[in-house]
């Protein structure tokens, strides 16, 4: 490993994306409105952050109509789950392991 943050995934740097992934790890899906409320974010915010995660193939979108109204539902992909888990492991290491300069690796 070259540096102590090399396994921290840039895609999860932002708290809203962290929140979205964290919700989608425990629930097999969540819709636009739910994410918006859970995260206290604006519409445009949810739209752009989900789009970013989608672009990375970390989540996928399913559009349908529920009660005649459009519904956008987000689901974590296998790739996304794996990437997020690896990110969490990296975080764990960064935070609990020694970045102690006294120790040589």
Residues that bind DNA (CB under 7 A): 13-14, 16, 31-33, 41-49, 52, 63, 67-72
Contact between 30 and its own copies per CB under 8 A: yes
What is the DSSP track for 18-58? HHHHHHHHHSS-EEHHHHHHHHT--HHHHHHHHHHHHHTTS
Minimum distance, C-beta of residue 73 to DNA, in the bound complex (Å):
8
Nearer CB in complex with DNA: 67/96: 67
Residues in contact with its own copies, counted by CB under 8 A, come to a total of: 32
**How crowded is residue 12: how many other Cβ atoms within 10 Å of its Cβ?**
23
Q: Which residues pair with 71 in a beta bridge?
A: 64
Among positions 65, 88, 89, 104, the unique one binding its own copies when judged by CB under 8 A: 88
């Amino acid at each position: 490993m070259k540096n102590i943050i090399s396994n921290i995934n840039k895609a999860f740097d932002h708290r809203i994306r962290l929140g979205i992934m964290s919700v989608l790890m425990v629930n097999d899906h969540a819709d636009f409105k739910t994410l918006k409320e859970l995260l206290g974010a604006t519409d445009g915010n949810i739209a752009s952050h989900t789009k970013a995660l989608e672009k990375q193939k970390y989540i996928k979108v399913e559009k349908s109509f529920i009660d005649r109204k459009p519904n956008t539902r987000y689901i974590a992909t296998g790739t996304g789950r794996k990437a997020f888990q690896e990110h969490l492991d990296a975080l764990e290491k960064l935070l609990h392991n020694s970045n102690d300069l006294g120790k040589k690796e």
